[in-house]
Amino acid sequence: MLEFPKDFAWGAATSGPQSEGNFHKPNQNVFDYWFEKKPDDFYDGVGPDEASNFYNDYQKDIPLMAQAGIKALRTSIQWSRLIKNLDTGEVDPDGVEFYNNVIDCLLKNGVEPYINLFHFDLPVKLYQEFGGWESKHVTDLFADYAEKCFELFGNRVKNWFTFNEPKVILDGEYLYQFHYPLRVDGPASVQVAYNLNLASAKAIEKFKNWKKKSNSNARIGTILNLTPAYPATNDPEDVKAAKFATMWDDNMFLDPAVLGHFPADLVKILDNAGVLWESTPEELKLIAENTVDVLGVNFYHPERVKRPSVSPKSLQDWMPDIYFDNYEMPGRVMNVDKGWEIYPQTLYDIAINIRDNYRNIPWFVSENGMGVSREERFMKNGVIQDDYRINFIREHLVQLHKGIAAGSNCHGYFVWTAIDCWSWKNAYRNRYGLIRDDIHTQTKTLKKSAHWYSKVSSTNKIE
């Protein structure tokens, strides 16, 4: 048996826009708006309107999560639900009541709330009026919204996070067209990356001021999807490509969050290409002085790259992937439904990297899990027999345990997700939950993995 550290947090992660539904919100977020305008862009025409009905079902859903061994839930507050007037920051009373009730219900059921402030769901008005995250004004509005959250809920929430996967905002919205507004603009993505780091630092500054006034022992962090890039070979050009991919995908957010500065080699490359972000000494000082207390790491699959087939010196529009090509390793194990390689060893490599290069900061696995399509094929006697999910989680926990034994300061593991949830463009095509949601009836039942996870959580051990 492998035993995990005392007080190890066994949890699950979800988000407001993927679980709550669009009920009684004073503002639309970008996905609400996109679905209203182009429902055919979404898998099976299923949008975020109802999601997993957590808005109406949370009093039943949370005890079910506790049955599944979930002792901590990482979810998010929807900016578009909490704030009525996006210009003045006036709150919506119904939104305040809802989040108060959810937090109270979590605590009543012995589930610790881990609250994230942003999960891809910018109010669409901030795109339409200011250009979204390209605007530094929006970074100020975000910090003000964050401050409201600390003031409203900070007496019960001890774990706060500014962003979930900021890198995906670049990929989906500005590079590869899988999130609204579906743009392809490499230089804009560079400025957005900087502004997201700036917004996080501004929110952390607000948190520090609030914490001092309220005498709180809460902590604040950020959630990053880390995919360190493995070179296809030891050829220097492949290694160079992997170094850039890691700096762009991981270190562009990891370094400012933990170390307070951007990677010097990345800054040099972007500057030489004429695409470096606009910044001021005052902003860089603010980023340096407002690093995170804790780091959440989302991990699903590794990244493998090789030297680009076309030189980045060629006449072409600037995109980050002009410096590398993706590489598919022969014989790899795959989740074929998702198109992702399964390689648990990366979780160990991440643990050692954090230990050696990032001050061995306290961290936890904030998302890890496996979803497949047509999960009903595994139904037997009314229960989903999802052994594939159990095996996936166990294999990753073995590698995580190895990293902890080597001295990495990891204190938790959160599976994605608690209850099958709506997934951006893909709706319910791939199911990730420990708990099944029949979306036609909103009937929720424990899968085999939920019973297994409950045992792991209660014993703090895995075989």
Give the β-pairing of 410-416 and 363-367. Answer: parallel
CA distances from 294 to 161, 359, 411 (A): 9, 11, 10
pLDDT per residue as tens, the chain (463 positions)? 999 999 999 999 999 999 999 999 999 999 999 999 999 999 999 999 999 999 999 999 999 999 999 999 999 999 999 999 999 999 999 999 999 999 999 999 999 999 999 999 999 999 999 999 999 999 999 999 999 999 999 999 999 999 999 999 999 999 999 999 999 999 999 999 999 999 999 999 999 999 999 999 999 999 999 999 999 999 999 999 999 999 999 999 999 999 999 999 999 999 999 999 999 999 999 999 999 999 999 999 999 999 999 999 999 999 999 999 999 999 999 999 999 999 999 999 999 999 999 999 999 999 999 999 999 999 999 999 999 999 999 999 999 999 999 999 999 999 999 999 999 989 999 999 999 999 999 999 999 999 999 999 999 999 9
Question: What confidence score (pLDDT) does residue 309 get?
Answer: 97
CA distance linking residue 436 with residue 370, whole number of Å: 14
DSSP run (H or E) holding 229: strand 229-231
The answer to whether 431 and 416 have CB atoms below 8 angstroms apart is no
121: helix, strand or coil: coil
Give the helix, strand, coil percentages of the chain, each rounded to 5. Answer: 45, 20, 35
Q: What is the pLDDT of residues 270-314, one digit of tens each?
A: 999 999 999 999 999 999 999 999 999 999 999 999 999 999 999
- Give the pLDDT confidence score for residue 435 in this predicted structure: 98
pLDDT of residue 354: 98
Instruction: Let me know: does 116 contact 82? Beta carbons within 8 Å.
Output: no
For the chain, the maximum distance between any two Cα atoms, rounded to a whole number of angstroms, is 63
Residue 365 has a pLDDT of: 99
Continuous H helices in 178-294 = 186-214, 236-246, 252-258, 264-272, 281-289
Instruction: Concatenate the DSSP letters of all residues of 262-307 into one string.
Output: --HHHHHHHHHTT-PPP--HHHHHHHHH---SEEEEE-S--EEEE-
d(CA 323, CA 305): 10
| Torsion, CA 183, CA 185, CA 186, CA 188, rounded to 10 | -100
Give pLDDT, residue 1. Answer: 95
Fold of 2-462: TIM Barrel (3.20.20)
- Element spanning 73, H or E: strand 72-76
pLDDT at 107: 98
Residues contacting residue 38 through CB under 8 Å, at least 6 positions apart: none
Cα–Cα–Cα angle for 306, 307, 310, nearest 5°?
130
Helix (H) or strand (E) holding 390: helix 387-405
| Structural tokens at position 63 | 């005890």
Which three-class secondary structure state does DSSP give residue 406?
coil
Tell me the DSSP string of 344-382. Answer: THHHHHHHHHHHHHSTT--EEEEE----EE-GGGGEETT
d(CA 296, CA 221): 7
Which single residue is written with the structure tokens 């290069």? 357
By annotation, the residues acting in catalysis are 165, 367
- Distance separating alpha carbons of residues 379 and 386, to the nearest angstrom: 9
pTM for the whole thing? 0.98
Residue 75 has a pLDDT of 98
Domain ranges of the chain: 2-462
Rounded Cα gap, residues 107 and 89, in angstroms: 27
